[in-house]
């Protein structure tokens, strides 16, 4: 009789499940782990975007240098990076490569979806930069000078 009572008490305890405190502790731990994982993911993604932007800037600079060697000047600010895809109407470059200087039909954007800033007033030097994640001038910009 006593054995039956012990077995039924043990059986009842096993069927009770988790207490509210135990569930809250598990949920809190899962929340902390999730927060940590998301934070690290966002940091890694940002670093990856910055590296990709630097590579894109280097590739654009290489294409601009090819344009310079062919045309003896960089495209002016008005012609912009689009001059690397097709010959600008106001271009005096006689040896412009009919295939352009970059692949594709569109000037690439930075990983955040912003256009690169291109300036060349005298045709002898260029300013090339990305406005970074916030898309605003100032801190967080990635420029050609940062890479070289």
| pLDDT tens-digit series, residues 17-71 | 788 898 999 999 999 999 988 888 888 888 899 999 999 999 999 999 999 999 9
Reported as type and span, the H/E element at residue 121 is: none
| Pair of tokens at residue 21 | 């405190």
- Coil, helix or strand at residue 49: helix
| pLDDT tens-digit series, residues 68-126 | 999 999 999 999 999 999 998 888 889 999 899 998 889 999 999 999 999 998 889 99
| Pair of tokens at residue 67 | 């344009």
Q: Report DSSP state, residue 118.
A: E
| Pair of tokens at residue 136 | 């605003």
Reported as type and span, the H/E element at residue 127 is: strand 127-130
Task: With 0.85 as the threshold, say if the pTM is over it.
Answer: no
| Pair of tokens at residue 34 | 């999730």
Domains of the chain, earliest start first: 52-147 (3.30.700.10)
Q: Report DSSP state, residue 109.
A: B
């Amino acid at each position: 009789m006593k054995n039956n009572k012990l077995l039924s008490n043990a059986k009842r305890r096993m069927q009770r499940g988790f207490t509210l405190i135990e569930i809250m502790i598990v949920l809190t731990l899962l929340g902390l782990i999730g927060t940590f994982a998301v934070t690290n993911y966002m940091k890694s993604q940002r670093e990856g975007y910055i590296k990709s932007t630097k590579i894109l800037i280097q590739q654009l600079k290489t294409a601009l240098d090819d344009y310079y060697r062919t045309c003896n000047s960089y495209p002016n600010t008005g012609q912009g990076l689009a001059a690397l895809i097709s010959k600008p109407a106001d271009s005096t470059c006689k040896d412009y490569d009919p295939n352009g200087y970059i692949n594709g039909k569109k000037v690439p954007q930075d990983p955040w979806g912003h256009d690169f800033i291109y300036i060349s007033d005298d045709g002898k030097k260029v300013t090339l930069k990305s406005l970074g994640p916030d898309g605003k001038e100032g801190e967080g910009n990635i420029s050609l000078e940062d890479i070289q």
